[in-house]
Amino acid sequence: MKNIKPKLIDLFKGGYCTPQIARIASTLKEPSSTIHYNIKKLENEGAIKAYKAVFDYEKINEGFCVYVLVNISPEYYNTPIAEELSKLEEVESAATIAGEWDIILKIRTKNQNEYYDILKKHLLPKGVTKTLTLTTLKDIKTNYVFL
């Protein structure tokens, strides 16, 4: 057995998909060469970053989902902490925000324990002064896809 499933999941998280031109053409009742032309234009404008898969995260062992609010110590304001945290594969989304908190992360793991490991290892060292974890009870919609 080649255990291809985890490799597919890895690839599909960030890309390795492509538009279904024929299906779009038939849905919009336009020639496929017209659809092709318009998609290439969108891609060349840089409007499309990736074609990728969205999962049922329970079924790929990432059923535990949290949002984490993070505060950064002032002397780290000019360092790319958010960018560093974004590189963790468990981080689905990351953004810097205005107000009481500095960064918001969305993190998916198998369970609480794995999240706690990440919290200890990656969210407490560096310039992080404070965190607030919002634990997801029910994931309803992610990236415009209903779960």
- Decide if 52 contacts 16 (C-beta within 8 A): yes
Residues 6+ apart with CB under 8 A from 141: 147
- The number of beta carbons lying within 10 Å of the beta carbon of residue 54 is 13
Q: Which of residues 68-97 bind a second copy (CB under 8 A)?
A: 69, 82-83, 86, 91-97
CA distances from 88 to 38, 54, 60, 106, 131 (A): 34, 18, 17, 11, 17
- Which residue among 27, 34, 93, 112 contacts DNA (CB under 7 A)? 34
Q: Least distance in Å: CB of 145 to DNA?
A: 20
Q: Which of 21, 69, 88, 91 binds DNA (CB under 7 A)?
A: 21
Q: Count interface residues toward a second copy (CB under 8 A).
A: 73
Residue 76 interacts with which of a second copy, DNA, none, CB < 5 to 8 Å by class: none
Q: Does 41 bind DNA (CB under 7 A)?
A: yes
Decide: 76 and 85 in contact? Cβ < 8 Å.
no
Cα–Cα distance between 62 and 114 in angstroms, integer? Answer: 10
- In the complex, what is the shortest distance from the CB of residue 13 to DNA, in angstroms, rounded to a whole number? 17
Q: Using the rule CB under 7 A, is 20 a contact of DNA?
A: yes
Asked whether position 98 contacts a second copy by CB under 8 A, the answer is yes
> Which position among 19, 63, 114, 127 is part of the footprint of a second copy (CB under 8 A)?
19
56 or 117: whose CB is closer to a second copy?
A: 56
Structure tokens at 116: 């706690």
Q: How many residues does the chain have?
A: 147
Interface ranges with DNA (CB under 7 A):
1-4, 18-23, 25, 30-34, 36-38, 41
